[in-house]
């Protein structure tokens, strides 16, 4: 399976969704089409699989392996694949890392272990990442949660992890506050070795990009990879007028995708893809449930505002 050697996480990295049949099995043909649709956008650096957006928490080890196999066979030659490492224990995280490395991934996105909601320290966080680094030579991306969740890494912990783990190359920054995000950008991107901050502040993406992060990694890319790539290019070029015009299209979608409860964000993105004619059905695995009709109509209106559906779509609904 393809692997893009020496990949440094940067640029625009959509996190794709995972379609299911009505019996909750993986809809492989629809997943392949979705991968092709997303990677048709210009200016992508990589694609992320086995993450929040693919409902990784409800996927078995074998299903995650199959998701990687499908993505590798469908798009692996086109762009690198970032594979999520979702596990509450470090031994299982290392097993997933070995699988992803053998399967052709080019980087690993490491989710924080759920037990950290009950407290953590530097030694615990570093040990988790060391176990993964020992199992794989791939670059690691730390998924930085808001500190209030207990799963976010305090500043001193993040600095220690970067110092102790050479393969840790980037963070997916969901810090949640402009102040923490700016500290990450100013501090981590100015260390003695290369390190990149990838924004996943998708509900305020343009603002976060203005701080100077070197990329973005977002589930919204499953729907608007092209708009995200255009926004990133405009911000990199310092073209504020162009960036504002693109952001005007993204804004209504951010409002409906990232409403409460947040756990439904990718549920809503699936609905958007169905409304756009890109998926045949919206099926999510429990404990998620299909969202209500009124919310689907709000998504439809946002797609019209974003210019992704004709105005007649709202009249017809």
Question: What CA–CA distance (Å, rounded) separates 11 from 5?
Answer: 16
Residue 317 reports pLDDT greater than 60: no
Q: What is the percent of the chain with per-residue pLDDT over 70, rounded to a whole number?
A: 97
Q: E strands, the chain, where?
A: 11-14, 47-49, 81-85, 107-110, 140-144, 168-173, 196-199, 215-218
Q: What is the mean pLDDT of residues 123-148?
A: 97
Cis ω before 261 (30° cut-off from 0): yes
Number of neighbouring beta carbons within 10 Å of residue 317: 13
Label residue 316 by pLDDT band (50, 70, 90).
low
3-state secondary structure of 199: strand
pLDDT in tens, 197-242: 999 999 999 999 999 999 999 999 999 999 999 999 999 999 999 9
If one looks up domain 11-238 in CATH, what number appears?
3.20.20.70
Label residue 158 by pLDDT band (50, 70, 90).
very high
Estimate to the nearest angstrom the gap between the alpha carbon of 57 and the chain centroid: 14
Domain ranges of the chain: 11-238
Q: In this predicted model, which residue has the larger pLDDT, 131 or 5?
A: 131
pLDDT of residue 77: 85
Sign of the torsion angle spanned by Cα atoms 175, 181, 185, 188: negative
Residue 1 reports pLDDT greater than 60: no
pLDDT in tens, 3-47: 677 899 999 999 999 999 999 999 999 999 999 999 999 999 999
Residue entry with tokens 């299903």: 63
Q: In this predicted model, which residue has the larger pLDDT, 313 or 125?
A: 125
């Amino acid at each position: 399976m393809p692997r893009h050697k020496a990949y440094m996480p940067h640029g625009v990295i959509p996190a794709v969704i995972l379609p299911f049949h009505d019996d909750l099995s993986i809809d492989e043909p629809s997943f392949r089409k979705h991968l092709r649709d997303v990677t048709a956008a210009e200016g992508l650096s990589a694609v992320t699989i086995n993450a929040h957006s693919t409902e990784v928490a409800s996927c078995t080890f074998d299903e995650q392996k199959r998701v990687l196999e499908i993505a590798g066979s469908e798009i692996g030659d086109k762009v690198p694949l970032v594979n999520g490492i979702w596990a509450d224990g470090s031994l299982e995280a290392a097993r997933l890392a070995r699988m992803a490395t053998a399967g052709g991934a080019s980087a690993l996105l490491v989710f924080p272990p759920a037990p950290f909601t009950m407290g953590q320290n530097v030694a615990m966080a570093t040990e988790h990442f060391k176990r993964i680094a020992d199992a794989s030579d791939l670059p690691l991306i730390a998924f930085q949660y808001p500190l209030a969740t207990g799963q976010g890494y305090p500043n001193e912990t993040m600095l220690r992890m970067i110092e102790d783990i050479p393969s840790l190359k980037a963070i997916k920054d969901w810090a949640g506050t402009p102040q923490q995000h700016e500290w990450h950008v100013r501090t981590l991107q100015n260390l003695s070795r290369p390190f990149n901050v990838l924004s996943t502040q998708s509900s305020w993406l343009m603002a976060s990009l203005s701080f100077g992060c070197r990329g973005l990694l977002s589930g919204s890319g499953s729907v608007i990879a092209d708009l995200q790539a255009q926004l990133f290019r405009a911000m990199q070029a310092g073209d504020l007028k162009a960036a504002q015009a693109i952001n005007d299209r993204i804004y209504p979608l951010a409002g409906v995708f990232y409403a409460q409860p947040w756990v439904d964000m990718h549920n809503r993105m699936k609905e958007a893809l169905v409304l756009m004619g890109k998926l045949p059905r919206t099926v999510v695995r429990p404990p998620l449930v299909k969202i209500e009709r009124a919310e689907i109509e709000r998504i439809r209106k946002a797609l019209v505002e974003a210019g992704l559906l004709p105005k007649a779509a709202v009249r017809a609904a």
